[in-house]
Structure 1
Amino acid sequence: MERDGVERLLGEAGIDSRRLRHALTLLCDGQWWDLPGLVRETATSRRTVESLLRELPLERSGERFRVPPAHTPDYQHLLAMAPPPDDPVAHLLPHYPHVLERLEALVAGAPRARHVLDHVAATPDTVLRRALLLGARFWLPGARLLCVGDHDLTSLAVKLVHPETDVTVVDVDERILAYIDGQGLGVRTRWADLRLGLPASARDHDLAVTDPPYTPEGVGLFVARAVEGLKDDGRVLLAYGASERTPMLAFKVQQALSELNLAYEAMYPDFNRYLGAEAIGSAADLYVLRPTSKTRPAVTSRLGRQATAIYTQGPQAVESAKPAGPAQAGDVSGLVADLAPDLLVGDWPKELPQPRARLSTWLAKPYAAAADRVAVALPAGMESALPRVLLAARASRVRVLAADAPPPPAVLSHVYALDVRDGVLDATRLPQPDGGPEQVLRRILDAAHGKLANTWREALIALARSQDAALTKNEARALIREAAPWSDDLTPVEAPLHLLAALPAAVTATVSALTATTA
């Protein structure tokens, strides 16, 4: 009979049968379940749940199923009568029904997941509980929180529950940054490919939250960048989960964490639940990590040997056999021969004689030497860095090899004449404009590593002076804050594309206001 198969399965699982017994309890309580819901509720991998379902007499209603009430007495002695460990903030949830309703709408309206970035959406309930746990464990009024990647929209949950918290998001996905900005909750957004660096304005935070790609390389990188963004006494909250069937993978990830010399303050099992990720039970633990005196040297060492492959899927998957970039696909010297570059940026064949710079160095600070012609190799899967690579250049000509790069954003047309063909982009720097908004805008974009608002202010003052008018620094700051309140502490290199797209109109507004004032 079916009960014999269930008892055999539970006996083989031994002490780990607790998960299966929980699933069996739910199936016998009269409710209807679908497979994703049962996986998520029990935090048990899909394969393990399916092994139980094969042994049970199920009645079905469409995609849903349950153990028929007539059969439930057969399994009473096998059920897990005690519930799983308590959720540390479950008692707070009833006080926030309107926040949960808002988060449900926000999650439903968010950009679709990108599998090449290992996106899996957390449930609205999960992001609310993250915000509640932060407030229950730490004093948030006036605190600074950094979200290292935020496809889950944890930043919005925190601002809804704790509006007095200062929140910044760094993410490589432009769609997420634009979506978060569009909610008007006061979250700062910064573009960052964490393999290339952390934005200068994303430092000195009290807390960091991250839900990274679930590979040792991905977890190690995201947590290292989170530590970079912290004050010495900060904390990192990490979501990470693995299937109960793959303890070795969990061990490798925890080894990557151990190499960073972090103290484990807490770990909440199965705290995070997801709309997907059924291979790991649609669940992940929540770690609370505290840096020690040995953490920062370990982070520096870890980042010094960073590889680009950190994901489980796509061209930058850890196990991908695809070459990392066009400069490694064979002899590429013919692609840059006519350019005769003074400098090579990225990974190039060793036989090329030119001096070279790392992509991370190129984006972090202005290159020390004056290079007139630059060739850049962008690895597959890192094409979102293209606008920043061009902004970071001060050369008259730049050639970028990037096979799958999207069309360059329109704002770059204020700096370069652009020609795109067959995975090669040629950018030729335009002459300096003479006066007006174009001159101010160009000065801002040419100083891509400088604080945008500072360059803007000085450009307005210089423009006023050229018109025999006087403009103080405070007056210039007031004009800029009126037109672009998002511009403080932001550099063009780290600005999301939607903010760069808004820059020409904002600059024009300040110049028009200046003209009206001086007139």
Structure 2
Amino acid sequence: MEAIAALIAQAGVDGRRLRTVLTLLGDGRWWTLADLVRESATSRRTVEALLREVELERSGERFRLREPLIGLTGGGLAPADPVAHLLPGHAGLVARMEELIAKAPRGRQALDHVAATADTVVRRALLLDARFWLEGARLLCVGDHDLTSLATAMLHPGVEVTVVDIDERILAYISEQADRLGLAVRTRWADLRLGLPASAQSWADLAVTDPPYTPEGIGLFVSRAVEGLRDRERGRILLAYGASERTPALALKVQHALSQLNLVNEAIYPDFNRYFGAEAIGSAADLYILRPTTKTWPAVAARVDGFGAAIYTHGPQSIESAPAPAPASAAAGPAPEVLVGEWPKDLLAKTPRARLATWLAKPYASDPARVAIAVPAGLEAALPRLLLATRAQHVQVTLAGPPKDLPTELLSAVYGLTVEGRTVHAVRLPPPATAEGRILRRVLDNAHGKLANTWREALIKARDGLTKKQARAIVGRLAPWADDVTVLELPACRLQQLPAAVAASLTAPDAAGSPD
């Protein structure tokens, strides 16, 4: 008892956390360590320190107090969040989200994925619905491993949702479920270090993000969320961020990063978000409501390109990882006419250079025949888009290591691919002979342009007598996901559907019911 009392006294006013843990342990239920950490929103390290001082009754990995500790409990649970009273009325939605989360792709440690609980994503949706007018509003999810997009769209079908993520598995899963459930959720691929997709820029009224919990990750994801807002006066950003009660200095760094973006903290709800994992921070994170000011956009423009590639806490792009060395030289053979990415300054010093982000954002001014691209560790997911972003005859891509899971099927309509160690050579194929192949090739060769527009024009050329209105209607029926999107931001799951949809558009009836 004395040791426990000493721990509580040492915690000072934050001793409520320890009393909460003891209250939970003494309520008769069996607990696992993970469940106790999540329910109390207290770091694993603090909980373990307390458990070492109490007598526990154990059953396998579960435990509880043998008897309540009189005088040391009574902390109770944390104050209710602003929408806790609404949750019981949405038990059906929580159950549906539990099922969707259970079937979703598993998290990737290199992307700092930790799954939020079903009631967390439903409470996020409830808070959005209670705080803002969602009918006709647009919500941008800047990363959505937690499936907040689906919860919000199911709660309020009147909101349009766009999900931007780097994980093709998540995008495919959200697209599949949105199609199945008839939800207005569209998906876009992006590595946020290289920019926000064009169709998501200045698009949203609200944005929500649960980014990597580093100052660099918070700064980058929130900056992209700001870029996604169309309502500069009344737009809001909901940010999930958590730190251990033992490390307030980490939270200070993050709040400093937000302050540098000239954002107003309208509210911070402590421990609003709960997770399966992240026990070092109590399996919990606060929820920030941020409001931009007139000074936010200049601050974002000045800082967003300076966050760098190292934004995660794990993997090759963690903030602790050593930067990968730049390629020592371009491949043997004719010299490239453009160097894309980070190359040594003394290599082909007179050759024009372009940043990876610029290469993806807009077509290159000239029409080079040979291009060399350097892709650092952690940005390999951008490889297909970097290849599609050029119309060069030969593209050499140098990676940090030998390529894994090279998307040959996705690129086979445009390139012949060969691999030498960590270098990929892509040689542009001759023009296709079939009408189907020509339409597909034209779409992929104009990857920076609006997919639906390029497809429509190619279809008109292939089908005599077809009007623009008829061609637009055919594309809209066969590929509603193709509207207002470029090839470069389309998820791989949609790109894989493109060849079959293009083939069908050649014989699809027009509005009059005739193929021609």
How would you bin the TM-score normalised by the shorter chain? over 0.9
Structure 1 segment 189-268 matched on structure 2, within 5 A: 189-203=187-201, 204-231=203-230, 232=232, 233-268=234-269
Distance in 2, matches of 1:15 and 1:41, equals: 19
Match of 1:46 in 2: 44
Q: Is the aligned partner of 1:145 residue 2:139?
A: yes
Q: Is the aligned partner of 1:163 residue 2:157?
A: yes
Q: Of the candidates 8, 13, 16, which is equivalent to residue 14 of structure 2?
A: 16
Distance in 2, matches of 1:4 and 1:20, equals: 14
TM-superposed CA distance for 1:492, in Å, is 0.2
Match of 2:320 in 1: 319
Distance in 1, matches of 2:249 and 2:264, equals: 21
CA contact (8 A) 1:387 1:409 kept: no
TM-superposed CA distance for 1:394, in Å, is 1.3
TM-superposed CA distance for 1:82, in Å, is 4.8
Match of 2:389 in 1: 392
Distance in 2, matches of 1:397 and 1:517, equals: 42
- Alpha-carbon displacement from aligned partner over 1:284-327 (angstroms, at most 9, x marks no partner): 00000000000000000111313100000100000112x33552
Q: What SS does structure 2 have at the residue aligned with 1:512?
A: coil
Q: Of the candidates 4, 25, 39, which is equivalent to residue 6 of structure 1?
A: 4
TM-superposed CA distance for 1:276, in Å, is 0.1
TM-superposed CA distance for 1:81, in Å, is 4.5
Q: What SS does structure 1 have at the residue aligned with 2:395?
A: strand
Distance in 1, matches of 2:190 and 2:74, equals: 46
Match of 1:453 in 2: 452
Match of 1:343 in 2: 338
Q: What SS does structure 1 have at the residue aligned with 2:71?
A: helix
TM-superposed CA distance for 1:435, in Å, is 4.4
Q: What SS does structure 2 have at the residue aligned with 1:223?
A: helix
Structure 1 segment 290-305 matched on structure 2, within 5 A: 290-305=291-306
Match of 2:498 in 1: 503
Farther off after superposition, 278-287 or 295-304: 295-304
Distance in 2, matches of 1:514 and 1:400, equals: 42
Q: Of the candidates 76, 84, 92, which is equivalent to residue 78 of structure 2?
A: 84
Match of 1:426 in 2: 425
Q: Is the aligned partner of 1:494 residue 2:489?
A: yes
Match of 1:472 in 2: 467
CA contact (8 A) 1:325 1:378 kept: no
CA contact (8 A) 2:40 2:77 kept: no
CA contact (8 A) 2:129 2:156 kept: yes
Distance in 2, matches of 1:16 and 1:67, equals: 22
CA contact (8 A) 2:19 2:76 kept: no
Distance in 2, matches of 1:508 and 1:376, equals: 32
TM-score, length-scaled by structure 2: 0.95
TM-superposed CA distance for 1:399, in Å, is 0.5
Change (3 A) 1:514 1:461: farther
TM-superposed CA distance for 1:241, in Å, is 0.1
Match of 1:25 in 2: 23
CA contact (8 A) 1:149 1:172 kept: yes
- Alpha-carbon displacement from aligned partner over 1:216-270 (angstroms, at most 9, x marks no partner): 0000000000000002121000000000111111111111110000011111000
Aligned letter for 1:107? I
TM-superposed CA distance for 1:16, in Å, is 1.4
Aligned letter for 1:508? A
Aligned length: 503
CA contact (8 A) 1:363 1:389 kept: yes
Aligned letter for 2:33? L
Runs of 4+ with deviation above 6 angstroms: none
Distance in 2, matches of 1:409 and 1:98, equals: 42
Q: What SS does structure 1 have at the residue aligned with 2:192?
A: coil
CA contact (8 A) 1:196 1:360 kept: yes
Match of 1:401 in 2: 398
- Alpha-carbon displacement from aligned partner over 1:138-178 (angstroms, at most 9, x marks no partner): 01011000000000000011011111110000000000000
Distance in 2, matches of 1:12 and 1:21, equals: 13
Match of 1:437 in 2: 436
Q: Please, which runs of 5 or more residues in structure 1 have no aligned partner? A: none
Distance in 2, matches of 1:411 and 1:23, equals: 52
TM-score, length-scaled by structure 1: 0.95
Distance in 2, matches of 1:404 and 1:62, equals: 45
Q: What SS does structure 1 have at the residue aligned with 2:426?
A: strand
Identity, % of aligned pairs?
63
Q: Please, which runs of 5 or more residues in structure 2 have no aligned partner? A: none
Q: What SS does structure 2 have at the residue aligned with 1:76?
A: coil
Aligned letter for 1:32? W
Distance in 2, matches of 1:463 and 1:257, equals: 52
Distance in 2, matches of 1:487 and 1:230, equals: 22
TM-superposed CA distance for 1:512, in Å, is 2.1
Structure 1 segment 109-148 matched on structure 2, within 5 A: 109-148=103-142
Q: Of the candidates 92, 98, 112, which is equivalent to residue 98 of structure 1?
A: 92
Distance in 2, matches of 1:195 and 1:385, equals: 10
Q: What SS does structure 2 have at the residue aligned with 1:78?
A: coil
Match of 1:375 in 2: 372
CA contact (8 A) 2:219 2:307 kept: no
Aligned letter for 1:173? D
Q: What SS does structure 2 have at the residue aligned with 1:96?
A: helix
- Over the residues paired in the alignment, what is the CA RMSD in angstroms? 1.3
Q: Is the aligned partner of 1:356 residue 2:362?
A: no
Q: What SS does structure 1 have at the residue aligned with 2:508?
A: helix
- Alpha-carbon displacement from aligned partner over 1:419-457 (angstroms, at most 9, x marks no partner): 123111111111222441101000000000000000000
Distance in 2, matches of 1:304 and 1:502, equals: 33
Distance in 2, matches of 1:81 and 1:288, equals: 27
